[in-house]
A and B are shown apart, each in its own frame.
Chain A
Amino acid sequence: MSIGGIGGGNFNPADLTKFDPPKQSTFSKFSSILGGAASAIPGVGPALGAIGAVTGGAGGGASTSFNRQYELLQLQNQIQQEAQTINMISNINKAKHEASMAAIRNVK
């Protein structure tokens, strides 16, 4: 599920699994900044910031790589769930606003 509406771009969490961090330090910094920038959205900021912590670990053999992929998938899942919750809250606010506008329209 795309969460482009939150980040403002066309970011797809599925891309996270394809992403290979070029350098530990660069990616960790990037993720921390991303987490900080998204901290205005409840839950999403910490989750994005945590990506840096997960991918920032020392690289190693195949099992480390597998664990990293697995943790990324878990984070992706968490982000998707949070995005879905935010989307639902946004929908209910929109529906409530429209109900208020309907009340105004109906006044006689």
Chain B
Amino acid sequence: MANVELAVKPSREEKRFLMEAALLMRDANRLDEAKTMFEGIIPLVEDKHLPIIGIGTIHFAKGEFDDAVEQFEKATEIDPTCAIAYAHLGEALAFSKHLDEAELALQKATELDPAGDNGGEMARTIQKFLAYGLL
């Protein structure tokens, strides 16, 4: 992504606001607008994997699970310690019927975030779904 010098330097609070706005847009089912927002946020933030996860969730919401997996994998490559990325990756893999790989990704997420505050709990919940055979 662009590493150009930005004319505007948003504060951390402003970056959070933009991320929250994009997530709200996604949850309001305005998926294309939300994707545009996430793409715009990428050059503004240091943790570029977070808006990339956002783009992945939009593909997931559209049922484009392979594209979602691609985005979440990209996020795990940028930050291999991000449990949120692995939890989402596990979910997308499960929905695309790659159950063994899904289990590995979810396991990784729970190892990275045993407390469950940053994606670990999400991974554990999806693991329960898998164990019940609901996915």
A and B form one complex: yes
Chain A residues close to B by CB (< 8 Å):
85, 88, 91-92, 95-96, 98-100, 102-108
Given known A92-B126, A92-B129, contact A104–B118 (CB-CB < 8 A): no
Q: Are A104 and B16 in contact (CB under 8 A)?
A: yes
Q: Are A96 and B122 in contact (CB under 8 A)?
A: yes
- With most chain B CB atoms within 10 A of its CB, the pick from A92, A96, A103, A106 is A103
Q: Chain B interface secondary structure, helix, strand, loop or mixed?
A: helix
Given known A92-B129, A96-B122, contact A103–B53 (CB-CB < 8 A): yes
Given known A99-B84, A103-B19, contact A88–B50 (CB-CB < 8 A): no
Q: Quick one: CB contact mask for B92-129 with A, threshold 8 Å, 1 for yes?
A: 00000000000000000000000001110110111011
Residues of the B chain whose Cβ atoms lie less than 8 Å from the Cβ of A98: 117, 121-122
Min CB distance B29 to A, Å, is 15
Residues of the A chain whose Cβ atoms lie less than 8 Å from the Cβ of B53: 103
Distance A88 CA – B135 CA, assembled complex (angstroms):
12
Distance A6 CA – B115 CA, assembled complex (angstroms):
28
Residues of the A chain whose Cβ atoms lie less than 8 Å from the Cβ of B118: 99, 102, 106
Q: Beyond the given A98-B121, A103-B50, please list 17 additional residue pairs across the A-B interface where CB-CB is below 8 A.
A: A91-B125, A95-B121, A95-B122, A95-B125, A96-B122, A99-B84, A99-B122, A102-B117, A102-B119, A103-B23, A104-B16, A104-B19, A105-B16, A107-B12, A108-B15, A108-B46, A108-B47
Residues of the B chain whose Cβ atoms lie less than 8 Å from the Cβ of A99: 84, 87-88, 118-119, 121-122
Q: Does B134 contact A (CB under 8 A)?
A: yes
Residues of the A chain whose Cβ atoms lie less than 8 Å from the Cβ of B128: 88
Q: Quick one: CB contact mask for B18-45 with A, threshold 8 Å, 1 for yes?
A: 0110010000000000000000000001
